[in-house]
Amino acid sequence: MSLPLHNLSEGLEALKNDLKPFLEVADDAAVEIEGSEAKKLWQVVDAMHRLARKMETELGVLRTVEAGRSIREALEQLSAEQLSGLMPGDGSNVIRPNFGGKGND
């Protein structure tokens, strides 16, 4: 099994290949592995776990960014609708607020 792992599927493939010989072992048979192999196995599983956590974090960030983009687009649309309601109908782009004084009836 080669380390370091660069992606989760690579690690799972290596683990699967290393464990493939055990598919032919009888169900009631005992299997022994050397301590160094057990440590390598643990290192690979640990590396895959860390990769999976990083991938989950990255996916969470991407989902948050996408949700923020959707919210921003909705806010832009609502603000544009509100501003267009304030614009005078004569084609001018000057907004004249109505403070309720004379001549603002």
Per the domain annotation, does 32 fall within a domain?
yes
Report, as an integer, the average pLDDT of 32-56. 88
Higher-scoring residue by pLDDT: 11, 92? 11
Per the domain annotation, does 94 fall within a domain?
no
- By residue range, what is the domain housing residue 55? 8-86
Per the domain annotation, does 2 fall within a domain?
no
Per the domain annotation, does 95 fall within a domain?
no
Per the domain annotation, does 58 fall within a domain?
yes
Per the domain annotation, does 66 fall within a domain?
yes
The model's confidence at residue 15, banded by pLDDT at 50, 70 and 90, is: confident
Report, as an integer, the average pLDDT of 50-71. 90
What does each C-alpha distance from 3 to 11, 34, 43, 55 come to in angstroms? 9, 18, 8, 19
Q: Does the reported pTM lie above 0.75?
A: no
Query: How many domains, the chain?
Result: 1
Per the domain annotation, does 105 fall within a domain?
no
The model's confidence at residue 91, banded by pLDDT at 50, 70 and 90, is: low
Per the domain annotation, does 97 fall within a domain?
no
Burial zone of 14 (CB within 10 Å; 0-12 exposed, 13-18 middle, 19+ buried): middle
For the chain, percent of residues with pLDDT exceeding 90: 14
